[in-house]
Structure 1
């Protein structure tokens, strides 16, 4: 049998189970057995109950078949459209809520109303000897019976729809490669579900007992009106206390379930946003297992995140070393520029991810030189204008290279530094001729670090200058070629380092 057939069979079985328990069993065994009436009157009441039940069943079946249309349509199609599958998927999730509506309407209008009208007619014509007050009790009892039947049907339907939900999701994946998800949408909230369920479970048997007891006492001693009034004063107090207790218990139970769910949901949002935070385990029930499982997952993600960071760091360092290995004269240049850039960044107050982004940007600042021909890059004599233009193209080439790396958003923090590390503070740099603070932060910092290392490193056409001479040039270019703040921080740092122990200066070129 196909999935839809199995589902339909379960729903029919569930319906009759709920109907028999909530209507026939309660109505016939509890209410009718409490009445002291003749066998003929019993038969007439049973006929009323069966007729009303039949009207209710016919109404519910018609409503149920109408509710099944989107599901039935999608299941019968050999290749349903994506919109058809999505509608059926969402509609299946609504089935438990629709089941409640399907039960309550026919119960109240198809069972209670016809039964009350037929019973009223029988009392009026003398076919049944019952007080009219019983009709009010029956109407109230019928409303409770409807609620209990709806409650049973709700939870049975929640279980029955699971195979259908999986089927629609799998078919969408197989046919259209689309994965359906509610994305956290809630069709039935936990709070009303628990509150209503607990209140019904607590008050339904209590009310039936009180009502049946009243009918029984009234049948045994119909002359004692004062006794019945005293009984209802007592019963009303019991019912009120029972309802209050059920409400408080339902509220407490709901909170005890909703709190850990909310905490886990917040924690999952943190994970989604990249904050791998564990949840404090403060529960002594099965939610402790959920929290432990969630924290285990977070620890696994943290370990993998650490591995990814290490791999990325190695990747950046390998690229920088590979670039520097192209020219023996500039070996270690990118690593030293990254080291100097981090020093300036720390002095400027950069920390955490911002400092790490600066370091990676500095490691890759010259990656564009891969695209510059060797005969130009390693030329010992003076460069022609055309050759110098080729050299000046390396920041843009570097940006273009980084934009080819996927995912693009992961490279975005490093692009500005790579493109702008040859801009000058006075606007005479390249490639964009940016001025002052319009030059990106990474570009202004790397420019200082790059210039210092370039001046102190040996090149084919010249020997590197000494430390003091390079610092003097940086001092002269503060505010014109380099950002005055970052150049000043760099000068101050090396001034202090040089005055204490010159051989400890990181990256000093000989």
Structure 2
């Protein structure tokens, strides 16, 4: 139904454009400028009719070719590629329409009419000068040009319901929004530039041609003076039209580029306010963009605060289960960040390290209370359950969406109990094969565990813990990170 309505709209547009260009402009041009007999006029109309049949035939063939990809989209078996091609062809239809008017339409009319006119002049059936055929070509070109511009503008409006329908089909069948892709088939710069040139130059060209034909029949003696005057006027008008089209195009292009760059920054996460000093509708557009940017920044800040709360809440959840380890994750995060700063991690890397530390024991949520909170020595089976908490923690984070927000935290959570000599858990990794965050957290976690009080023992003092870390360099802990931590703590002392 939509496709049928589209075809009907194109037909109405074509008839309207033809009426304006051919009937109004063309007929006025012929009847008001040519001084010919009724016999010649009748013969010219016959030639014109035959040429119109040829023109319509040529144009109809090209029109069907242009329409074919769109027609296929309204087949029940249309696939994604067919719908994409139809969408792109529909977008380009105004340009194709203009080209169709300027080629098969214009050529299909001009060539048959010229050949027939030459034949009748040669057979002395038509008493007009051969030069009139040249004037007819120029006039036909100008008439085709105005017809093409009218069709272009009307078709630009006609394609919108069709684009919406194809987009709707693609969303329904494949959940793909075709309008999100970037389509620039004809830049706004070219639209403005050629539109202003057309408005400025077309009337003067048509008037100059009509005046020349009128004068050559009535006052041939002044033709040379006329051409000097006419060409001067045409050149001046053309220069003014080109200059003003450049100025107006720039007035539109500059804020458009500003908005485009602003949108690109939003896509990359770099949100900046636009500075624009305009007194037209672009002022509202710039202000609207800045309001949008402000809203996005506020929501991004809120999301960041919520995410930060997420890490703190998880750490507090662990503290609530085991009050004897209260504050452990926060302290480990502080120690880990100090090591990270010492080795020159970036601000973004330090942030990820801190978050990894806050969540490093999240897997203990999956350990039974009677095991996690046991005062005495753990059995082998109970210790096996405790050793599962890094893998449980990694699995928990892996289930959280969006995954890209958590994936960078998993290495620290999963591997903070690996040993440098390969005797750790859960995978028994060794040396440099242990992720960096895992090696850093192993040092920070061990120190806080040794210096914290437990129900079954009192925490040891800092010097003793550092001595143990010193002895464990290269076996239990990464020697480089262990030494850095020792140096940091000694500086504090």
Give the TM-score taking structure 1 as reference length: 0.87
Stretch of structure 1 that moved more, 254-263 or 107-116: 254-263
Indicate how the Cα distance of structure 1 residues 277 and 74 shifts in structure 2: closer, same or farther if over 3 A, else same.
same
Q: How far apart are the structure 1 equivalents of 2:59 and 2:180?
A: 28
CA distance 1:155–1:211, change in 2 (3 Å): same
Equivalent-residue separation in structure 2 for 1:379 and 1:276 (angstroms): 51
- Corresponding residue of 2:324: 329
Shift of the alpha carbon at 1:154? Answer: 0.9
Q: Where do residues 150-165 of structure 1 align in structure 2 (5 Å cutoff)?
A: 150-165=148-163
CA distance in 1, matches of 2:452, 2:325: 7
Give the paired residue count.
492
Distance in 1, Cα, partners of 2:120 & 2:242: 38
For the pair 1:81 / 2:67, whether they are aligned, the reply is no
Confirm or deny: 8 A CA contact 2:387 2:426 kept in the other structure: yes
Tell me which residue corresponds to 2:90. Answer: 92
Is 1:367 aligned to residue 362 of structure 2?
Answer: yes
TM-score (norm 2): 0.90
8 Å Cα contact 1:28/1:46 also seen in 2: no
Deviation at 1:371, TM superposition (A): 2.9
Match in the other structure for 1:507 = none
Q: Provide the C-alpha distance between the structure 1 equivalents of 2:341 and 2:275, rounded to a whole number of angstroms.
A: 34
Distance (Å, rounded) in 1 between the aligned partners of 2:434 and 2:260: 42
Q: Verify: 1:120 aligned to 2:118, yes or no.
A: yes
Report the secondary structure of 1:275's partner residue: coil
1:218-249, CA deviations, whole angstroms, 9 ceiling, x for partnerless residues?
A: 11223x2xx42343244334333433443343
Aligned to 2:297: 302
Q: CA deviation at 1:414?
A: 0.3
Find out whether 1:440 has 2:435 as its counterpart: yes
- For 1:87 and 1:107, the matched residues in 2 are separated by 25
Is 1:57 the equivalent of 2:52? no
Q: Which ranges of structure 2 fall in alignment gaps of 5 or more residues?
A: none
CA 1:244–1:320 in 2, change beyond 3 Å: closer, same or farther?
Answer: same
2:157 & 2:180 partners in 1: Cα distance? 18
TM-superposition CA deviations, 1:43-67 (whole Å, max 9, x none) = 4334433443343234334433443
**CA deviation profile, 1:436-465 (whole Å, cap 9, x unmatched):** 444322222222221221111111321101
Calculate the aligned-residue CA RMSD, in Å: 2.7
Structure 2 counterpart of 1:449, from 437, 444, 447: 444
Q: Which runs of 5+ in 1 are unaligned?
A: 499-510
Q: Kindly tell me: are residues 329 and 169 of structure 1, through their superposed partners in 2, closer, same or farther at Cα, counting changes over 3 Å?
A: same
Pick the aligned partner of 2:104 from 103, 106, 131: 106
**Alignment-derived partner of residue 453 in structure 2:** 458
- Matched-pair contact (CA < 8 Å) for 2:21–2:143: yes
Shift of 1:87: 4.1
Partners of 2:127 and 2:323 lie apart in 1 by 114
The aligned residue for residue 170 of structure 1 is 168
Contact 1:82/1:176 (8 A) holds in 2: no
Structure 1 window deviating more from structure 2 (330-339 vs 35-44): it is: 35-44
| 1:449-483 Cα distance to aligned partner (Å, 9 max, x none) | 21221111111321101233333433444455434
Alignment of 1:10-409 (within 5 A): 10-72=9-71, 74-75=73-74, 79-83=76-80, 84-174=82-172, 177-181=175-179, 183-222=181-220, 224=221, 227-409=222-404
User: Any conservation in 2 of the 1:361–1:417 contact (CA below 8 Å)?
Assistant: yes
Alpha-carbon contact 1:195-1:250 (below 8 Å) kept: yes
| Structure 2 CA distance for partners of 1:281 and 1:484, relative to 1, 3 Å | farther
Q: SS of the residue aligned with 1:161? A: helix
How many angstroms apart in 2 are the aligned matches of 1:162 and 1:430?
A: 62
Q: Which is worse superposed, 159-168 or 25-34?
A: 25-34
With 436-445 and 61-70 compared, the bigger mean Cα shift is at: 61-70
Assess if the C-alpha contact under 8 Å between 2:52 and 2:109 holds in 1: yes
Say whether the 8 Å CA contact 1:378–1:460 is kept in structure 2: no
Distance 2:37 2:270 in 1: 74
Matched position secondary structure for 1:145: helix
**Offset, 1:73:** 5.2
